[in-house]
Amino acid sequence: MSESDRDHYYEPRNGHGLPHDPFNAIVGPRPIGWISSQDAEGHRNLAPYSFFNAFNYVPPIIGFSSIGYKDTVRNIEQTGEFAWNLVTRPLAEAMNASCAPVAPEVDEFVLAGLTPAPSRLIKAPRVAESPVSFECRMTQIIQLKGHDGTLADSWLILGEVVAVHISRSLLKNGIYDTAAAHPVLRAGGPGDYYEIEASSRFQLFRPTA
């Protein structure tokens, strides 16, 4: 079988030729950056971002990319702070409600029926219903660009985790139990998500010298 018969090949600049862009499905499932923030006047905002991950241990740094200069980016530029909140299966519908395209003055906590919880070190609230949250201070905001230098309508926000909140129910003998939280991950397709469960767990240990 030739490569042309085996593979669907495309160059993104020319389109993918499929019913739905496969890029997000291939790079996935992806953790969800459920980001809470507030502007300089204290107006709250809550929004999910599927381009999210952790990037460093010491100091602990997480980041997410916003496609378009949205309220979250503006708020973080103004205040230098944000919180990340874990999306679990019981919170999936609320998370989805919080991504509605609403005006800046609309409080997504109210829209999604969620409770803002005070943070310890930052002013931005956390989602009280979420079992895990990070309080973060912004370290960098970078407008992304292509290889030819053309600026993209996307902003990468990086932040140092300065405080961590974990429900004690998720600590088993002092070890965080990922599956016990039933975290939700974004996958491909217009509305596909996956839930992590204990049955999908397997272990691999790093080779030793």
Place 190 in a pLDDT band, splitting at 50, 70 and 90.
Answer: confident
Let me know if residue 203 belongs to a domain.
no
**Residue 55 falls inside a structural domain:** yes
pLDDT at 25: 84
Q: Is 206 a member of any domain?
A: no
**Domain that residue 185 falls in:** 19-191
The pLDDT, as a whole number, for residue 20 is: 87
The answer to the question of residue 83 being in a domain is yes
pLDDT digits (tens, 9 = 90+) for 66-115: 999 999 999 999 999 999 999 999 999 999 999 999 988 899 999 999 99
Domain CATH for 174:
2.30.110.10
Residue 189 reports pLDDT greater than 80: no
DSSP 144-185: EE-TTSPEEEEEEEEEEEEEEEE-GGGEETTEE-TGGG-BEE
Question: Each residue of 193-202: pLDDT tens digit?
Answer: 999 999 989 9
List of residues 6+ apart from 2 with CB closer than 8 A: none
Question: Bridge partners of 136?
Answer: 82, 161
Average pLDDT, the chain: 94
Domain assignment of residue 109, yes or no: yes
CA distances from 208 to 4, 57, 191, 205 (A): 40, 21, 41, 9
The tally of domains found in the chain comes to: 1
Both structure tokens of 91: 């919170």
Would you give the end-to-end CA distance of the chain in angstroms?
A: 40
For residue 13, being part of any structural domain is answered with no
What is the average per-residue pLDDT within 115-132? 98
Position 5 scores a pLDDT of 80
pLDDT computed for residue 132 by the predictor = 97
- Report if residue 183 sits inside a domain: yes
> Above pLDDT 70, what percent of the chain?
98
Per-residue pLDDT tens over the stretch 26-45: 888 899 999 999 999 999 99
Domain contains 5: no
pLDDT of 1 reads: 63
